[in-house]
Amino acid sequence: MRARRSWCVLCVLLLGVVPTSGCPDSSRNQRRQLYDPYSRATVNGVTTATRFPNNQIPRNRFDPTSVKLLQYWPRTNLTTATVSNNFLNPQKTPIDKVQFNQRIDFNESSNSQWFGRYSWTDETR
C-alpha cells in the first residue's frame, strides 16, 4: 500500500522551445549553412552536398500536414540569443494530487494465481 501526495512544481512555469515566427519559411539558423540531404554524394571518400539557396529550405520540401499543424503551435514569447528556451507558459495553478495504489497477490496453487489492484487518485487543479 502506498499513498503519495505531490505538488507538480514544474507545471507552474513551463519553459520550452517553439519554432520562431519565421519558420518554416525563413532561415532560422543563420550561423550554419543548410545543405540539401538529397544531393549528398561521396567522391573519393569525401561527402559533399548542395547548399540550399539563401540558406532556406524550399517550402515544397515540407510535408503539407506538418505545415498545417504549425498553426496550432504556440508562438514565441521570449527573446533569446539562440533558438532555445524561447517560450514561457505560465500555468494558473499547481496540480495537487493525492494517489493511493494497492495490489494483492494470491497463489492458490501452481496452476492458479490471482491478483487484484485498486487505484484511487484525487487531483485538484
Number of domains in the chain: 1
User: Does pLDDT of 11 surpass 60?
Assistant: no
Q: How many CA atoms lie within 13 A of 87 on its CB side?
A: 13
Domain of residue 36, residue span: 2-124
Cis-peptide into 24, omega within 30 deg: yes
What pLDDT is attached to residue 6? 42
| Cβ count within 10 A of residue 29 | 12
Task: Report the predicted TM-score, pTM, of the whole model to 2 decimal places.
Answer: 0.42
Can you list the pairs that 115-120 forms with residues at least 24 positions away whose Cβ atoms lie under 8 Å?
A: none
What 3-state class would DSSP assign to 63?
coil
The mean of the pLDDT values for the chain is 76
pLDDT in tens, 63-116: 899 888 888 877 777 777 776 777 777 766 667 788 889 999 999 999 999 999
Helix (H) or strand (E) holding 41: strand 41-43
